[in-house]
Amino acid sequence: MSDPDIWGAVVPAWIGGVGSLIAAAVSAVALIKSLKTQGGVETLKGAANAGITAGTGQGSQKEPFDGTGTATPADTQSPVSWTAWHEARSQYRLRNDSTHTGASAKLTQLKDVTPGGDGAASFHGTLPVQLAPNESIPFTIDKSLVSPSVTAIELGWEDSDGTERTRTLYI
């Protein structure tokens, strides 16, 4: 029987075994941190959407400003509010959540505005769409492994009085 080749077989096998154990430990730590981060991402999404609807239940809008510091007619809050939720896989729903005001809206825009994103959110119907309170439409977010954790979609709509509004919703 011959002696084992220590430098040609034994040492590389030990290095491979120790490297595998280190890789497994690093991946376990990464998984735990990822799970912790996901909870933080959910908290941030909720805070971002709550900050937009702070106390009023209304959407924040980009409004015209006349430069004088006085309120223009469009500075008033929209009676329309929006909610989006995940249904299955890449399927989501967007709802006119204005049951408290009874306001309908004509949705004119739904586009992905995620910074550094890959345009994963899309609506496959035709716009504009008239949505009464509590009515919803389906849309998709096709995420890949490199997609950001949170998707930002910009909604554009017209209130029942014809005022055009926009809001960014974080999903």
What are the pLDDT digits (tens) for 131-144? 999 999 999 999 87
Query: How do residues 91-106 score in pLDDT, each as one tens digit?
Result: 999 999 988 888 999 9
Token pair belonging to 67:
């430069």
C-beta of residue 112 within 8 angstroms of C-beta of residue 143: no
Q: What average pLDDT is seen over the chain? A: 79
Segment 60-81 shows an average pLDDT of: 53
pLDDT for residue 11 is more than 50: yes
pLDDT for residue 108 is more than 80: yes
Between CA 27 and CA 62 the distance in angstroms is: 43
pTM above 0.75, yes or no: no
Per-residue confidence (pLDDT) for residue 40, from 0 to 100: 58
Per-residue confidence (pLDDT) for residue 30, from 0 to 100: 83
Contacts of 154 (CB under 8 A, 6+ apart): 109, 110, 111, 112, 113, 166, 167, 168, 169
